[in-house]
């Protein structure tokens, strides 16, 4: 569905990305892992239209595309949930889901229609929030993450990018978010998850892509790989499997 080939990006003397490649296909969760400074955030910014690469090609369904702005990424069906979630905590769940894309008729907000759509969307994702009219500030961390992910689906994207979706969450909340990621896969979406938590990665991903110092260091089928092999790829140790 989406392929990035030979992506390079330099910031002055720093080579953030050097010929990186990654493929995202429908119905698959790909985990992007690597140490700090490996280039994960830069690659996400390239795919989401925040940063324009210096070199390389991005194709969608085999056709070259240019992603120069976040709006262009959204138009191509690429939705990103950043680590800070970008939620308005003083607004309720419904208002956050449709923020910037409110349903209107003759310049009048259609509150009932938006609330019904919000309930349908959250229900389809098995997200349990007792009152969707309470401010987001009153929700738990896992519920906030679920709202941010649900908002990414309002435009019916084909690719969803999640940046550290389980960071700072408790055990129960983490399990809730991982279950939600699996449901995204079951909906036939291509999902890219960026995470430092290898236990979460192995629990939810179908494939693990490793970056090291701005370059590809490994591409593993999760079910066929060992934690030791993935860690070796991240740290630059001996790699016995999975390297491309």
Per-chain mean pLDDT for the chain: 89
Query: Residue 92 falls within a domain, yes or no?
Result: no
Question: Is the pLDDT score of 96 beyond 80?
Answer: yes
Token pair in block for residue 123: 């229900």
Looking at residue 108, what is its pLDDT?
63
Question: Looking at the predicted structure, is the pLDDT value of residue 110 above 80?
Answer: no
What ranges make up the beta strands (E) of the chain? 2-11, 14-24, 28-33, 55-60, 63-65, 78-81, 104-105, 108-109, 159-163, 190-194, 207-212, 215-221
Which of 145, 127, 123 has its CA nearest to residue 136? 145
- Residue-level pLDDT at 121: 87
- pLDDT score, position 8: 96
Sequence-separated (6 or more) residues with CB below 8 Å from residue 128 = none
- pLDDT at position 57 is 95
CB 88 within 8 A of CB 96: yes
Position 49 in a domain: yes
Question: Is residue 93 domain-resident?
Answer: no
How many domains does the chain divide into? Answer: 1
The pLDDT score that the predictor gives to residue 207 is: 96
How far apart CA 240 and CA 236 sit, in angstroms, is 12
With a CB cutoff of 8 Å and minimum separation 6, the contacts of 152 are 79, 80, 81, 160
Here the tokens at position 186 are 């079951």
For residue 234 the two structure tokens come to: 């991240």
Higher pLDDT, 168 or 208: 208
Residue 118 lies in a domain: no
Residue 243 has pLDDT above 50, yes or no: no
> Global pTM?
0.86
Q: Residue 202's closest CA among 173, 238, 157, 166?
A: 166
Please check the confidence at residue 124 and state whether its pLDDT lies above 90.
no
Percent of the chain with pLDDT strictly greater than 70:
94
The stretches of the chain forming alpha helices (DSSP H) are 40-47, 70-75, 93-97, 111-124, 141-152, 171-186, 198-204, 227-235
- Mean pLDDT within 81-103: 83
What are the b/e assignments for 46-76, b being 16+ CB within 10 Å?
Answer: bbbbbbebeebebebeeeeeebeeeeebbeb
Per-residue model confidence (pLDDT) at position 15: 94
- The per-residue pLDDT for range 160-203, each reduced to its tens digit, is 999 988 887 788 888 888 999 999 999 999 999 999 899 999 99
Residue 73 lies in a domain: yes
pLDDT in tens, 44-89: 999 999 999 999 999 999 999 999 999 999 999 999 998 877 888 8
Measured CA to CA, the distance from residue 135 to residue 225 in angstroms comes to 43
Q: Has residue 150 been placed in a domain?
A: no
> Is residue 76 in some structural domain?
yes
- The CATH number that applies at residue 19 is 3.40.50.300
- Full domain range(s) for residue 9: 2-85+156-235
Residue 241: inside a domain: no
Which range, of 16-20, 53-57, 236-240, averages the lowest pLDDT?
236-240
Exposure of 82 by Cβ count < 10 A (0-12 exposed, 13-18 middle, 19+ buried)? middle
């Amino acid at each position: 569905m989406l392929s990035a080939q030979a992506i390079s990006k330099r910031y002055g003397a720093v080579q953030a990305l050097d010929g990186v490649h990654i493929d995202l296909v429908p119905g698959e969760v790909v985990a992007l892992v690597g140490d700090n400074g490996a280039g994960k955030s830069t690659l996400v910014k390239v795919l989401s239209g925040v940063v324009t690469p210096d070199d390389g090609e991005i194709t969608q369904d085999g056709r070259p595309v240019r992603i120069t702005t976040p709006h262009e990424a959204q138009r191509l069906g690429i939705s990103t949930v950043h680590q800070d979630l970008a939620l308005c905590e003083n607004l309720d769940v419904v208002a956050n889901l449709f923020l910037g894309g409110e349903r209107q008729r003759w310049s009048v907000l259609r509150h009932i229609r938006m609330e019904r759509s919000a309930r349908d969307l959250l229900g389809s994702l098995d997200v349990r929030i007792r009152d969707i009219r309470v401010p987001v500030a009153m929700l738990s961390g896992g519920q906030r993450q679920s709202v941010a992910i649900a908002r990414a689906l309002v435009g019916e994207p084909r690719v969803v990018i999640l940046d550290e979706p389980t960071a700072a969450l408790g055990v129960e909340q983490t399990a809730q978010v991982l279950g939600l990621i699996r449901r995204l896969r079951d909906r036939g979406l291509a999902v890219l998850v960026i995470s430092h938590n290898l236990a979460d990665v192995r629990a939810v991903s179908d494939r693990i892509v490793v970056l090291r110092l701005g370059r590809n260091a490994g591409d593993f089928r999760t079910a066929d790989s060992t934690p030791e092999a993935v860690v070796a790829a991240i740290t630059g140790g001996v790699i016995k499997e999975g390297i491309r």
